[in-house]
Structures are given as structure tokens and as C-alpha cells.
Amino acid sequence: MKTIFEKSNNIDGIKFFDGNFSIDFIDNKFLRKSDIGLPSVTELDVLRHYKELSDRNFCIEKGFYPLGSCTMKYNPKVNEKLANLDGFVNLHPALEDEDVQGALELMYNLQEALKVVTGMDAVSLQPAAGAHGEFSGMMIVKKYFENKGELRKKVIIPDSAHGTNPASASMAGFDIVQVKSNEKGQIDINSLKEVLTEDVAAIMMTNPNTLGIFEENVLEISKLMHENGSLLYYDGANFNAIMGYTNPKLMGFDIVHINLHKTFATPHGGGGPGAGPIAVVDCLKDYLPTPVVINDGNMYRRNYNLVNSIGAVKNYFGNFGVLIRAYAYILMQGKSLKQVSSDAVLNANYIKEQLKNVYKLPYDVPCMHEFVLSGDLQKEKGVSTLNIAKRLMDSGVHPPTIYFPLIVHEAMMIEPTETEAKNVLDGFINIMLEIAKEVDENPDKVLSAPCSTIVKKIDETLAARKPDLNYRMEV
């Protein structure tokens, strides 16, 4: 039996009856003439279907993420609860400032907190992710030199940099100049001096760098750049390693982006959107994207009147839900942010020391929050880093970043973060040692991995070149 509606003169205005569907204010040509053909399933069937799909996903609640290059640390559930308060989720972005004082106060306080941890003088929360922050920072560099009447077309980037660095600088219209790393895995000062010409606008650095090594000559680099009239850009992807110990301002940087979705434990990757606020020194504060939130003494308001602003880089005011989570995390940690960094560094060094005699360690120095191994020794025996990564999946561990940075052959970048307990680290170490043993004694086990996952070993080349988008997996 179909349920249909007809306009009626009764007090309810709607009458249910069997017959032809007829509503006098809708043209008959827009009315469906037959069943829609939806499948008939119960609510329980639907719930079981989506629960089955969710169980196939790997998440931090299921296992360890030693995922170097992008901090994948635990996001406390209290952050989710706070971000879902009615007063936040039901705000409309077009409301007047006086109607959103709570939200603006939170954003203002977050700006102030980021100024403290970075040492910088002004902050914009607008950029939506790390690379977006990089691009915004490079646009500031560009406009800064344009206003000075200087034609500077080059940006120096280390050979170990994140791939987004040269992309962001190139998108802003700069030519990329690469500087080599030395035997310590740090920027080679002599190589830097060779490429440091009058038309260099800036250098983009991550410190600690992508190898997880602190750039011990950062102050000399800062001095060289500033004497050349150039700016220094700090990629905040590895900020998780230095909080409370130092900051980009002390190192001599002029612009920094902070990945709130990494350092301050908000959802990352497939778990949610990002946020990449940028902070600058005083002479660049009028170049920030607008609006920035200010406190004029009477109320919090959005300020669009920055004389040299590069303009808005995102609709409205950034990814507000991520800003809430990050602010909650900062309030929760307080001065313990320093402990966050020290624990992350301790965990990385603990794993590194346990594995360096079984896997090749290209740079055998104390690391910061992450380190890079090489699978060269295993490759010589016919097993690649990719095979090792897939074998890890059989043990319920998410593979680390592999084949990056490019300056390490067969690279495995491992970053445990501070949120994992020692027994988890020990478990990972034992798994890695067992895989190395299998490479020696039974390499077919590694070469055929993964064996216990929903999708088994595939032909990567064929999958990349001829993906079967219509494939239906049998369960």
C-alpha cells in the first residue's frame, strides 16, 4: 500500500488515502509515476553493513601508527565533545561580531597561545592546512619584497624538505634553488653560501628537519640570510619536537606555519580537515591574511583592515572545528606541552637505538621526534622497504612513511609520537626485529605480505596504471 497526500479542507490540512498522488500546487510533470526502487532493508541490516565497513578501516584506536613526516597522535575524545557543543556547531558564519563573542574569544585566545609557543608577534588562523599556510607565507614574502621595490625571484629549499615546500614557493611565483645536506644530514653551510645571491627572497626550513635531526647551525643560517636581506620561513610540521624548549623566533625565523591537525592533536588525514595558522614577526604583521581577531577593549571583533594584507585565503575564518580542538588541547596540556615534546623525542630515540644494528641507520646521531632508517641491508637480500611495510600490516601496525625523504635510499621514516606507552614501542620493535629475521630465514613470508588484511598483496604497478574501479570485493 502506498501512502499518499492530498490537500484537504480538514483542520489538519493533510489527508491520507489510497489512490492517485495529487497536490494541486505542484505541476503533475514533476510527480513520480512509479516506485523509486529503493532496496528493502531493515535498520539493523544498515547498521551491520556500515559497522562492517568501519571495522575494515585502520585507526589509531585499533593499532600503532609509526607514521613519520606527519604526526599521527591520539586525539583526546574530550576535544571532540567540546567541538560539538551547540554553541559552536550551530553558529552561522554570517552572524555579526556581537552575536559570536564566545567563538571570537576562543579564536583570539588561540592566536595568543600560538604567539607564545612560536615566539612570533602576530597570527592569522585562516589557512586550512600546512601547505595552505606555506603558500600564504610565500605570498607574504612576495608582497613584502614588492613593497620594498626589490625583485627577488628565488627561494632556497634543502634537499630533505617536504615536497609541499617547493610546490608552495613555485605556486607563489618563485624559482626553486636546492641546497645540499652534509654528512650530518643538515644544511651544508658552504653549499648555502654558494647559492645565496641578492635575488634570494627566502629560505624554507623545517627544524628539526625531515630526517628528524636538529639543524645545529640554524643561527648561522639565520645570520647569513638576514645579512643578505632575505627572510626565513619555518615549516611547522615537526613542531611537536621542540615545544617549550625553543621556538622559531629564537632561531631567527620570520614566518612560521603551525599544523594544528598534527601538533595539537586534532583529527588528521582521513579523520578530518586541517588547519595551518601562520605567525609572523612584527614587521610582517600587516601582511597577514584577513580577518584576524582583535580585542578592542569592548568586544572581540574581526579585523579586515591590515594595510598590506595578502587578502583572504579561505572563505570566512578558517576551519573553526579544528581551532576549537586545538585550543582545548593547549588548555589541557598547559606547561606540559614541553613534556609532550620530550616524550616524543625519548620514544623516537628509544626505538632508533633498538633497531639501528639490524636496519641501516644513515645518520647515527641523536634524533628528535622521528628518525629515518634504510632498508638497504634487506634490499641486498631481495626484500624491499615496500615489502617490509606490507609485512607490518600483518601484525596490526600501520606502515611508516617509506621512500621519503628522497636523500635516503629505501627510506623508512618512523615517528612514534608521545602518546604511545613503552609496551607498544617494545611490541613494534619486536615486530621489526622479527621481520628482519624473516628476511634472513624465510623471505617468502615478507615477499607475499600482507596475508591477514582484507585486501591481500596486489600488483602495485598494474593497480596504479589500470585500476579496476568497478571491482566488487567478495566477503
Integer Cα distance of 451 and 392 in angstroms: 10
Integer Cα distance of 17 and 301 in angstroms: 56
Higher-scoring residue by pLDDT: 20, 458: 458
* pLDDT given for residue 286 in this prediction: 97
- Does residue 16 surpass a pLDDT of 80? no
Q: 167: exposed, middle or buried (C-beta count within 10 Å: 0-12, 13-18, 19+)?
A: middle
- Does residue 473 surpass a pLDDT of 60? no
> For residue 271, what are the β-bridge partners?
none
The pLDDT tens digits of the residues spanning 330-369 come to: 999 999 999 999 999 999 999 999 999 999 999 999 999 9
Integer Cα distance of 166 and 155 in angstroms: 8
Integer Cα distance of 324 and 79 in angstroms: 8
- Does residue 475 surpass a pLDDT of 50? no
Which cell numbers hold the place of 345? 623525542
- Does residue 385 surpass a pLDDT of 80? yes
Integer Cα distance of 374 and 378 in angstroms: 9
- Does residue 279 surpass a pLDDT of 60? yes
Q: Which of 316-320, 386-390, 439-443 has the lowest mean pLDDT?
A: 316-320
* pLDDT category of residue 60 using cuts at 50, 70 and 90: confident
The pLDDT tens digits of the residues spanning 219-266 come to: 999 999 999 999 999 999 999 999 999 999 999 999 999 999 889 988
Integer Cα distance of 319 and 313 in angstroms: 12
The pLDDT tens digits of the residues spanning 88-106 come to: 999 998 999 999 999 999 9
* pLDDT given for residue 72 in this prediction: 72
What letter represents residue 25's amino acid? F
CATH, range 338-465: 3.90.1150.10
* pLDDT category of residue 17 using cuts at 50, 70 and 90: very low
* pLDDT category of residue 474 using cuts at 50, 70 and 90: low
CATH, range 77-335: 3.40.640.10
Integer Cα distance of 199 and 279 in angstroms: 24
* pLDDT given for residue 36 in this prediction: 85
Which cell numbers hold the place of 419? 602518546
Mean predicted confidence (pLDDT) in 206-212? 95
What is the average pLDDT value for the chain, to the nearest integer?
Answer: 91
Integer Cα distance of 210 and 214 in angstroms: 9
The model's pTM? 0.88
Integer Cα distance of 385 and 411 in angstroms: 7
Mean predicted confidence (pLDDT) in 54-63? 86
What letter represents residue 178's amino acid? Q
Which cell numbers hold the place of 308? 598590506
Q: 325: exposed, middle or buried (C-beta count within 10 Å: 0-12, 13-18, 19+)?
A: buried
Which cell numbers hold the place of 371? 628518525
Which residues, 6+ apart, have CB-to-CB distance to 102 below 8 Å? 87
Percent pLDDT > 70 in the chain is 92
Within this chain, domains 77-335 and 338-465 share the same CATH topology: no
Report whether 235 contacts 161 (CB < 8 A): yes
* pLDDT category of residue 308 using cuts at 50, 70 and 90: very high
What SS3 string covers the chain?
A: CCCEEEECCCCCCEEEECCCCECCCCCHHHCCCCCCCCCCCCHHHHHHHHHHHHHHCCCCCCCECCECCCCCCCCCHHHHHHHCCHHHHCCCCCCCHHHCHHHHHHHHHHHHHHHHHHCCCEEECCCCCHHHHHHHHHHHHHHHHHHHCCCCCEEEEECCCCCHHHHHHHHCCCEEEEECECCCCCECHHHHHHHCCCCEEEEEECCCCCCCCCCCCHHHHHHHHHHCCCEEEEEHHHHHHCCCCCCHHHHCCCEEECCHHHHCCCCCHHHCCCCCCEEECHHHHHHCCCCEEEECCCCEEEECCCCCCCCCCCCCCCCHHHHHHHHHHHHHHHHHHHHHHHHHHHHHHHHHHHHCCCCECCCCCCCCCCEEEECHHHHCCCCCHHHHHHHHHCCCECCCEECCCCCCCCEEEECCCCCCCHHHHHHHHHHHHHHHHHHHHCHHHHHCCCCCCCCCCCCHHHHHHCCCCCCCCCC
Q: How far, in Å, are 248, 287, 303, 421 from residue 233 at the CA level?
A: 9, 14, 25, 34
Mean predicted confidence (pLDDT) in 395-416? 94
Domain boundaries, the chain: 77-335, 338-465
